[in-house]
Structure 1
Amino acid sequence: MKLNRSKIRPLLLLGLMVTLLTVLSGCGDNLAQQDVMARVKRTNHITWGVKNDTRLFGLMNIKTGEIEGFDVDIATAISQEIFGKDVDVKFVPVTSNTRLPLLKNGNIDALAATMTITPERKKEIMFSDTYFNAGQAIMVKKGSKIKSVKDLTSGTKVLGLQGSNSVANIKKYAPDAKVLQLADTAQAFTALKSGQGDAMTSDNGILYGLNRDDPNYQVVGGTFTNEPYGIGMNKGQEKFAKAVNQALKKIEADGTYQKIVDKWFSKVAGFDGSVIK
């Protein structure tokens, strides 16, 4: 029986693709399950997921090509406290929607990405102790009739971020408002400025950072939730989590933490210092 080579080749190609995907998937799982403490000590390299579109916390500097912000400095300080000043710290941009998949797939070792500690997320990953106490708020254009979350009625549209708990919160505190979810902070703020929504909701620190870019907008009504940020790590990384918590205590005790806070928030008009750890 003569085989039809034109039919065999696609089948072989398909088989190779399936095998490759299986191998890559397995590699991701193995990397996520590796002991972070042991691997970083061996390689002297650690990778963090951080935001790159969120002023004050993580924003790409277009001149240097580096991501800068509070979360970046905290991640660096923690890494150096655990592994030494010479450790190679790499930063990978994440969004609220991609940060958990990237962590669980082993693409990054830890997250410092304005991520609130919640019971739901604790089922998927491990968290450090709180390193920043934020609170959800809303931002509107100056002159808006909206003064607080109570003014978000059935005739209003609120802009939020995909993958963030702020969307669920706004549905709880303003159940009649329509919610439009955007991929990241920059897109949500652009949508607000273009009139696609009446208000934008996120953590107050994030909104104050946007307010620095454009003073025609303002944060109103104070915070209506408690949003404690934690460092995210994969399940099974107990040694790493313990080391991170010890490092947080150390940098707070020696003044490093406060220096980072002052660097990023001391000149933010209207920012409530009580939300700082």
Structure 2
Amino acid sequence: MDRRSYLKASGAAVATISLAGCIDSFTAGGGGGENTIVPGTASGFPPFEMKEGDEVVGFDIDLLEAVVAETDYELADWEDLNSFDSLIPSLRNGNIDAIAAAMTITDQRDENIDFSDPYYSANQSILVREDGDFQPSELSDLQGHQVGSQSGTTGESVIQGMVDEGNFQESNYNAYDTYVLAVTDLENGNIDAVVLDEPVAASFASERSVSVSFVYETGEQYGFGVRTDDDELQTALNDGLAAVRESGTYQDLTSEWFGE
């Protein structure tokens, strides 16, 4: 039985004894019919979301599918957007109903959308070329070097904070649509470091000629994004998250994707 079949089967089994029977129905937007959720993500953020052929796979993909399997709802086809920055506008204008894209819960984002309960905690890693001369040990070491991050992410916020404090030159910052492009530029010597989420950095380090120089603690947490008026969907996702944790499915997925 493949992973997707396992998730569907286990979700159906747990639903008979878990919280699923308590979750109310709702009518989703985003082009989906009644009880249908249109999920959105932005691939290029392994192991949370990435492309394998024409299919989007990853921890976020499997987790949201497992969560929704605990509810009365079902998922429509995944919408893979071109950039992370497009996710919140697409959610707000109704093209998608939920964001599953390792999105950090922040006060600024919470002004425009709502979030589920947190489902993953992560800090920021500073990625450099493996065996390269530049091996920073703290943020101040990035001064005077070309540094990249993905536009709209917490990594970019860290760099922008340094700029605002006068500890980094904005001209040395390079924004990318995806971290795949940023890490490729790092490998090619076009930039000296990339600031990105800790588990994603570990994934790149295991597959590319790059390494984690140090970790900057931010205490950030990821949540599924929903529209501010989708209270029923928010409740459903929270109940579904509780159910997959209780059933052991959450631990199975973290073990599979992160070896935790």
Give TM-score scaled by structure 2 length: 0.81
Calculate the aligned-residue CA RMSD, in Å. Answer: 2.1
How many residues align? The count is 228
In the alignment, the residues of structure 1 paired with residue 198 and residue 189 of structure 2 have an alpha-carbon distance, to the nearest angstrom, of 21
Residue 176 of structure 1 pairs with residue 146 of structure 2: no
Instruction: Report what 1:149 is aligned to.
Output: 138
Matched, 1:90 2:67: no
Tell me, in whole angstroms, the C-alpha distance in 2 between the residues paired with 1:124 and 1:221. 32
Which of residues 194, 208, 224 is equivalent to 1:200?
194
Q: Quick one: structure 1 residues 160 and 42, their matched pair in 2 at CA, closer, same or farther if it must change by over 3 Å? A: closer
Amino acid at match of 1:56: P
**Counterpart secondary structure, 1:135:** strand
Task: Return the alpha-carbon distance in structure 2 between the equivalents of residues 168 and 56 of structure 1.
Answer: 21
Paired position in structure 1 for 2:124: 136
Question: What amino acid sits opposite 1:76 in the alignment?
Answer: E
Indicate the SS of the match to 1:134.
strand
Kindly provide the CA deviation profile for residues 43-87 of structure 1, in whole angstroms up to 9, marking residues without a partner as x. 45321112321221111111xx21110000111011111126xx3
What pairs up with 1:152-231 in 2 under 5 angstroms?
152-173=141-162, 175-177=167-169, 178-214=172-208, 216-231=209-224
Alignment partners' CA distance in 2, 1:208 and 1:188? 15
Whole-angstrom CA distance in 2 between matches of 1:154 and 1:193:
20
Give the AA of the match of 1:169: V
C-alpha deviation, 1:165, in angstroms = 2.7
Which range moves more in the overlay, 104-113 or 159-168? 159-168
Larger Rg: 1
Q: Deviations over 1:2-28 (max 9, x none)?
A: xxxxxxxxxxxxxxxxxxxxxxxxxxx
Equivalent residue number for residue 6 of structure 2: none
For residues 91-150 of structure 1, give each alpha carbon's deviation from its aligned partner in whole angstroms, at most 9, with x where no partner exists.
111332111111111111100101000000000000111000011111001233323233
Which ranges of 4 or more aligned residues in structure 1 deviate by more than 6 Å?
A: none
Provide structure 1 residue ranges, at least 5 long, that are not aligned to the other structure: 1-34, 267-272
Who is 2:109 aligned against? 121
Runs (5+) with no aligned partner, structure 2: 1-23
Correspondence for 2:94: 106
DSSP-derived class of the 2:186 partner: helix
In 1, the alpha carbon distance for the partners of 2:142 and 2:183 equals 20
Pair 118,88 (structure 1): closer, same or farther in 2 beyond 3 Å: closer
